Structure 1
Amino acid sequence: MVAPLAVRKASRWQDSVRLLLLIDAAAKSPAEDENVPASTVGAVHTQVRLQKLDFWVRYPDYLAFELMNEYEAAPEEAGLLSLASDILDSEEPDLRRFPMLRHKFGAFEELDDALAPLVERGLIRKTQILGRTGQNRVVEHVYFLLERGREVARSLLRDAPALEWYVKRTQLVVALVDGLGGTQIKDRQYLLSEYADTPWRQYFAPITEQARARLRQLKAAAQMPVSDVNQEAS
C-alpha cells in the first residue's frame, strides 16, 4: 500500500499573520447602524469571503489563472497578464502553496485556532449573527479589525521584511474582487473545473502546469516574450 503524500502545513503563527494581513487588506468601514466594538477601524463580513480570499493567497497558481480570466475579459489591461507571468515564471506556486480541503461549499479551513491569538491580543474581534428569533443558526460571521490590529499589521513589514510578499499578495487578492461578496467569489472559483471537480474532503491539487500552458498561449497571442521557465515547463 502506497503511503499518502505529506501535506505541507503552515504553522499557527504563519496562519495568524496571514489572516491578520488579509483582514487588514479586506476591511471596510462598518455601516453606521452596525454594532461595532470600540476602536474598530474596519470590518470583514462573512466567513465565506474570508475563506475564498485566503484560498487565492494559498494557491498562487489558481490566482494566476483568475488573473488571466480578468485579462481575457479586458485585454487592454496588460498588467494583469504580467502579474500572472510573475507568479508562474517563478517557484512561487510550489513555495507559497499551503493546501486547503474541499468542503460542501468549496475551499474551507477552520479559522478559530489561527484567529484566537489575534483576539487574545486585542487585534481583532469576531462575532456571529444568528437567524430569526427562535433559531440558533449562524447566518453570518463578522471580523472587526481594531486599531491595535491595524498598527501591528502595518508594523509587520518594518519588523519582518520577509513578510512583504504576504502584504502585497493579500492586497492584490482583495483588489481583484473588490466589492464582491463571498458567494460571488465562491461562484467564480467554481467556474474552474479543477476546483469544482475536487472530491469532497480532499485537498485541492495544484494547477501550475495547466496555468503555465495557458499563459504561453496568451503571451503568444499578445506577442509577448515567453519566459525560460515557461519554455522548460512545455
Structure 2
Amino acid sequence: MPTTSAVDFRATSRAQDAVRILLIIAAAAEPLDHPPPDDPAINDAVAVLESQVRLQKLDFWVRNPDFLANELLEEYERGGDAMLLDQAADILESDEPDVRLYPMMRFLFGAYEPLDDALAILRSGNLVVRRKRGSAGRVSRHDYYLTRSGRDTADRIVRDAPVFAYFVHRTRLVARFSDGYRGTHLKDRQYQQDEYRNTVIGDHIATIAPRVRARLREHRGGQPVTAA
C-alpha cells in the first residue's frame, strides 16, 4: 500500500477551511426560488447544497488535485473533449499535486474531514446555515443553505481577494465537473481508485500523482510530463 510522506499531512487553518467551504457551496449549491417556510434562520437563503456526502466529495477533489486530474482524464477518455485533457495537463504540469495537496482521512464512507469549525465560522457570520433532515433520533441528511450575505461574501472574494484565486478557480471547476450528480455517485467514483478504496480507515489517502502523470503521458504518445 502506498505510504504518505511528511508533506502529505499539511494541515489547513480554520479560516482557510471556512473560505474553501464557502466557495464550494457558493459554486455548487442549487438556486432557491423560495426559502423553506417557518425557519427564520434561512428566510434569506438563496441556494442550497444537499447532503454532507456531496460536500465532502467535492471538498476531496478540491483538496486532492491529482484525483481531480484523474477524473478529468476519465471523462476525456469517455467523450474525447480535448478541453478536459488540457485541464488535467494544467494540473499535472504544475506544482498543484504537491503544494495544493491537503489529504483527507479514509472513514467508513470514504474521504472525510470534520467541518464543524469551518461551518461554525460561516454560521456566526450568517453566511451558511446547516440544517439536519430526517426523523427524531435519526438524521438522514445535512443540507447547507447559502444566505444572501453568504452569496455577497463569496462574490466579494471572487472580485476583491486575489489571494484566494486558486480556490475560486478550483471550486468552480469541481462544481462544473460534478453538476447534476448526487453525493453517492461522486463517492462511488472516488472508490474506483485502488489507493482510495484500500486506504486503512483512519489513515490519510495517499497521492496518485505519479500514476496520473503516467496516464497523461500515454495520451501524449510518451511525451514527458514535467511538473513546474
TM-score (norm 2): 0.91
> Which residue of structure 2 lines up, in the alignment, with residue 229 of structure 1?
226
1:151 aligns with 152
Structure 1 counterpart of 2:197, one-letter code: A
Q: SS state of the match for residue 31, structure 2?
A: coil
Q: Which residue of 2 aligns with 1:61?
A: 66
Instruction: Give the partner amino acid of 2:23.
Output: L
What value does the CA root-mean-square deviation take over the aligned residues? 1.9
Is 1:88 the counterpart of 2:85? The answer is: no
The answer as to whether partners of 1:89 and 1:229 remain within 8 angstroms in 2 is yes
* Structure 1: gaps of 5 or more residues: none
Give the whole-Å Cα distance in 1 for the aligned partners of 2:35 and 2:48.
Answer: 13
Distance 1:29 1:142, change over 3 A: same
Q: Distance in 2 between the 1:171 and 1:213 partners? A: 26
Measured after TM superposition, the shift of residue 177 of structure 1 is: 1.4
Question: More deviation in 23-32 or 186-195?
Answer: 23-32
| Structure 1 residue aligned with 2:193 | 192
Q: Runs ≥4 in structure 1, deviation > 6 angstroms?
A: none
Q: Distance in 1 between matches of 2:188 and 2:131?
A: 25
Partners of 1:34 and 1:122 in 2: how far apart? Answer: 16
**Does 2:102 match 1:98?**
yes
Tell me the residue number matched to 2:15: 13
Spell out, residue by residue over 1:83-112, the C-alpha distance to the aligned partner (whole angstroms, 9 max, x if none).
Answer: 000000011111111110000000001111
TM-score, scaled to structure 1: 0.89
Where does the alignment leave 5 or more consecutive residues of structure 2 unmatched?
none
Contact 1:52 1:182 in 2 (8 A): yes
1:161-176 superposed matches below 5 A: 161-176=162-177
Rg larger for: 1
- Give 1:52's aligned residue: 57
> Quick one: distance in 2 between partners of 1:129 and 1:30?
17
Cα distance in 2 for residues equivalent to 1:108 and 1:99:
10
> What is the identity, as a one-letter code, of the residue corresponding to 1:10?
T
The alignment covers a number of residue pairs equal to 220
Percent identity, please: 45
Displacement after TM superposition at 1:157 (Å):
2.9
Whole-angstrom CA distance in 2 between matches of 1:157 and 1:47 = 24
Deviations 1:52-96 (A, max 9, x none): 000000000000000000000011x00000000000001111111
Residue type at the aligned position of 1:81: L
Task: Check conservation: 1:89, 1:227, Cα contact below 8 A.
Answer: no
CA distance in 2, matches of 1:121, 1:171: 23
The amino acid of 2:49's aligned partner reads V
